[in-house]
Each structure stands twice: as structure tokens, then as C-alpha cells.
Amino acid sequence: MIKRISLLILFVFSVCMSKAGNYPYRSDVLWVTTPSHSNWLYKTKEKATITVALYRYGILQDGLEIKYSIGPELRPAEDEGTVKLKNGKAEIALGTMNDPGFKDCRLKVSLDGKEFSHHIKVGFSPEKLMPYTQLPDDFTAFWDKAKAVAEKCPVKVEKTFVPEFSSDKIDCYLVKLQAYAKNAEVYGYLTVPKQEGKFPVVFSPPGAGIKPMDPTKHLFYAESGYIRFDMEIHGIRPDLEKERYTEISRAFGKENNSYLTNGLDNKDNYYMKKVYLSCIRAIDYLTSLPEWDGQNVIAQGGSQGGALALITTALDDRVTLCAANHPALSDMAGFKGGRASGYPHFDLYFNGMDTPEKIKTMAYYDVVNFARFIKAPVFMTWGYNDNVCPPTTSYTVYNTLACPKESLITPVNEHWVSEETRHLILDWICSKIEP
């Protein structure tokens, strides 16, 4: 079931609380862009238009010249021009698309010498989007072999109580977990309800980057009766000083130095192989806990974490539910098909990634190929204005899933989910838990 949220009235009311790039926090300028279809969706070859209004200090502006450029998302513009606000509004014709996908209208205006920008995407038959990425013939054999080797490494755990994240309702622990090989560790924060009983476990891998971890925004899981493990993937303590993470990220997390390019020439040596196997080790650990209910294992995450949640669900049949927000690492070679590629966008922010060897390796690590094998129920949520994990790639993943699935589509969202949606995800999990 697909639910589409496009209530612009609610959005205008709440936008001042948003920190997303499209709507800067406490900005004097507010854009309101309204597509001619309320759900922001059109059929291929159907023409789309948007109405633009601009407010400054809450006052509708008139007579201003708006610059626009229109093109497929994350692709060069195909049309550019200007319109003038008349009676506070202007209409822009976006044209259409002959193939399924999303078209992005990028807007700019100059006020007192300062430029303000905005954008809006609309979809054309996105329910028909299918992956550019093809499934390698030995995909299953490759991962079965990798899992068998990693399984031979014993589970070794160090667990330290963390009082600053604990309360009268939950206990929090910093866990160091030996993963896919000797001397290969990952860390994570484990939160456990204090009351007696057996509980479902939630595995939550992280978003992209090398950065400190803060489990506080998801403590409500443990407070609601779930054991939760927020894992980091690099083997770096999550409680180091922020400055230390900045140094590490500068050396190992940016552009061609990024861990996401490390070993990409060879599927056996790619960095993310260790990450995917570490996720399975996290499931090993969680299902060994005496507090686990013995039945329910949930993978949940957003962006890179959403990708890893889906991948873990495909690789490990102990996972019984999966909830993923705007998954990264999805149809990463999509740019070869002339459309938006999945994060990390190897075509846009890196050099030398379009080689036969690298493209081949991507297929073994792409979410769309894991999605083909998922059997557990999946919940996904994504927005249309997201340029980090574009809706083209989220739809491509969702359309590939053959398992029971549900989605919440929030067109106005960029690369974020609201606090309400975070709790809605838990509500969905609760509704699917086996007693």
C-alpha cells in the first residue's frame, strides 16, 4: 500500500522548524511550489506545470524575476528561462518525460544582492522504474562463500555500561564486536529495556560518513520494549572527540579517498564487503542475547543505513522485518543508463569510476540486486526532493522487491525524515511483530 503525503498547508506551517536545505531554519524567505497534480505524479508523455509563490517575512512578493532550469534529476538542464511573479505567483511548464523518472525544476531569485534557491521534483510513471544494474550470474555463490568464511571467525564481545545514555527505563552499553575476521572489530550502542522479559531485537546500521554516534534520538525503541543496536561500521570508537572524527574523515571519507571507493576495482577486495559481513555478525550477537524473544529480528536504518538494513535482510534469513528510509547504494551505475545514480554518485563526485572493473564490482554490492532476494516484509519511506538518495533509486528498489511491502511517500522531503515518521516506522514494526 502506498500512502502519499503532499499536504502543502501542513508543510507551510511546519517548514520553519525544518533544517533541510530547501527550507533553511529561520529564513526570511519561503518558497511555495505547487504542482498541477496534487500527488506530484504524472504519466509519461503527460505535461506537468508548477505554480511558484515567494514570501518574504510572510509577505507574498510580487514583480520579482525568478530564474529556472529544468532537467531530469541530477542531470544537466534541458530548459532554462525566467518568469515574473504576477499577483504573487508564476506558472512554469515543466514539459514531460517519455520514459519513467523524475524531472527537477531548480529556482533562483535575487533579493538585495543575495541569491535564494529552491527546487521541486515531479515524477513520471515512477512505478515503472526498473534497475539499470543487472544481477551477476555468480551473485548468490559469491555471497554464500563470503558468509561461510566469515562464519568461522568466533564471536568476541566487549561490553561497557554507558551511564550518560541510560535511565530508569533503559540500560545503554558500548559494545565492541569482533566481526568478519580476527582483529576486525566494529562498535555500537546497545540499548535494553530495564524491565524483566524477552524482547524483539532491532539492528540499526549507520548513515554514510565517519562521525560520532549519538543513540539518543532512538532511545524510544528501548523505552517501547525493543532491544536496539546502533552500529558503526569502521572499527572506530563512537565516543571519540568530534575533532578526531573530522581528521579521520578528511583522510578516509572524502571524494576519491572515501572508504566507498576503497578496493572498488575488485569485488573480493572492496571495502564494503567487510561492512556487509559485519552486519551479519551484529545479527549473530543480537540473537545470542538472553533477553531476545527468540523470534523477532528487525533491520532498520536510513540512507546508507537503509541500504545496509535491506542488504542484511537479504543476506540473513533470521531478519523477520525491514524498515528502510531512502536507501543509498541503489542502482549505483544508473548513470550509465542516462539517469540519476544512487549515493555515493560515483559519476558526479569522484574521478575514474566509470571503468569496466568498477562497474562490475558495483553490481555485487548494489541494493537492487539484494532486493531481489528479500522475503521478509519491508517498509520503505522516501521523498521526491532528495538529491542525496534520489527518488528514482528508491522507486527502483521498491519496484524490485517481490516480498510483502508497504511505503510512505512524502514528496516534499529532501534527505530527512520527520520525528513523526521515525515513530511511525516503529508503529509499523509493532504492527508486524510476531507474538
d(CA 432, CA 435): 9
User: Of these residues, 303, 330, 341, 394, which one is catalytic?
Assistant: 303
As given in the structure block, the three cell numbers for residue 323 are 524498515
Can you point out the beta strands (E) in 303-367?
A: 321-325
d(CA 404, CA 215): 29
Tell me if 169 sits within 8 A of 191, measured CB to CB: no
Tell me if 58 sits within 8 A of 12, measured CB to CB: no
Tell me if 322 sits within 8 A of 226, measured CB to CB: no
Q: Phi and psi of 26, rounded to 5°?
A: 60, 35
Alpha carbon of residue 153 to chain centroid = 30
User: Of these residues, 119, 218, 326, 415, which one is catalytic?
Assistant: 415
Amino acid 223 reads E
User: Of these residues, 330, 341, 386, 394, which one is catalytic?
Assistant: 386
What are the residue ranges of helices labelled H in 253-354? 271-286, 304-315, 346-349
| 265 belongs to the catalytic site | no
Tell me if 213 sits within 8 A of 230, measured CB to CB: yes
| 28 belongs to the catalytic site | no
Q: Phi and psi of 350, rounded to 5°?
A: -135, 160
* DSSP, residue by residue, 408-425: EE-TT--S---HHHHHHH
| 204 belongs to the catalytic site | no
d(CA 58, CA 107): 19
Tell me if 396 sits within 8 A of 331, measured CB to CB: yes
Task: Enumerate the active-site residues.
Answer: 303, 386, 415
